[in-house]
């Protein structure tokens, strides 16, 4: 039996590649389970304990024991290292907890050499989506978006760690 290989047009190839690597959201989410404190602004001094479920370049998903009002402004502190300011976009009950989506409006990070390239371990952890804390994820995303060398290193790491995905995207 002879199997004929399908010849893809450039458009079909591009669409197929985008389907393999695309997420339905504008930005990829990075899963995490970092502890955080949340203050609703203006603050009455009360801090709510929360867990940061995941984070993207523009948003954070929190899990907490009580509801937050849509449109509220919040300050999220993660392990005392990072402060995120944002607006509550939604809050819904999921099982015995509430999950809130926060649109990031600003981030204050401790000063660190932001210009240094990412280490190989940081790139590996970033690509697999586990093992970095939120400040490290935000720093990596920001750095990769501006640094051609680190962006190339991320692409090489993806090709090494997920050769079948890359092969499928390039073949067909």
Q: Which residues pair with 87 in a beta bridge?
A: 73, 103
Dihedral of the alpha carbons of 56, 58, 63, 67, in degrees to the nearest 10: -160
pLDDT at 171: 46
Q: Measuring CA to CA, which residue among 64, 12, 4 is closest to residue 171? A: 12
User: Rounded to whole angstroms, how far apart are CA atoms 74 and 76?
Assistant: 6
* CB contact at 8 A, 115 and 139: no
Widest pairwise Cα distance in the chain: 75
pLDDT at 48: 94
pLDDT at 160: 87
Topology of domain 30-108 in CATH is Thrombin, subunit H (2.40.10)
* CB contact at 8 A, 100 and 61: yes
How far is residue 40 CA from its own chain's centroid? 23
Instruction: Considering the chain, tell me which residue range(s) the CATH 2.40.10.220 domain(s) occupy.
Output: 30-108
pLDDT at 25: 59
pLDDT digit string (tens) for the chain, length 172 residues: 454 445 556 666 555 555 544 445 577 888 888 899 999 998 777 889 999 999 988 999 999 999 999 999 999 998 767 899 999 999 999 999 999 999 999 888 766 555 688 888 888 889 888 888 888 888 888 888 888 889 899 989 888 888 776 555 554 4
User: Rounded to whole angstroms, how far apart are CA atoms 79 and 77?
Assistant: 6
pLDDT at 20: 44
pLDDT at 61: 96
Tally the C-alpha atoms within 13 A of residue 105's C-alpha that lie toward its C-beta.
Answer: 12
**41: part of which helix (H) or strand (E)?**
strand 30-41
Q: Which residues pair with 94 in a beta bridge?
A: 97
User: Which distant-in-sequence residues (6+ apart) come within 8 Å of 33 by Cβ?
Assistant: 51, 52, 53
DSSP 8-class letter at 29: -
Residue tagged 């009455």 (tokens): 44
């Amino acid at each position: 039996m002879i199997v004929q290989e399908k010849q893809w047009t450039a458009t079909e190839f591009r669409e197929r590649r985008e389907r393999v690597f695309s997420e339905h959201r504008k930005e990829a989410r990075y899963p995490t389970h970092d502890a955080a404190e949340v203050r609703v602004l203006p603050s009455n001094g009360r801090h709510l304990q929360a867990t940061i479920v995941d984070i993207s370049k523009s948003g954070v998903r929190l899990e907490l024991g009580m509801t937050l009002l849509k449109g509220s402004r919040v300050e999220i502190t993660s392990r005392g290292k990072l402060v995120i300011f944002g607006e509550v976009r939604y809050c819904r009950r999921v099982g015995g907890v509430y999950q809130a989506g926060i649109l990031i409006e600003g981030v204050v990070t401790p000063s660190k050499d932001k210009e240094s390239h990412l280490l190989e371990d940081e790139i590996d952890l970033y690509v697999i989506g586990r093992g970095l804390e939120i400040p490290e994820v935000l720093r990596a995303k920001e750095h990769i978006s501006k640094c051609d060398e680190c962006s190339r290193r991320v692409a090489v790491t993806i090709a090494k760690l997920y050769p079948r995905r890359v092969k499928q995207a390039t073949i067909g």
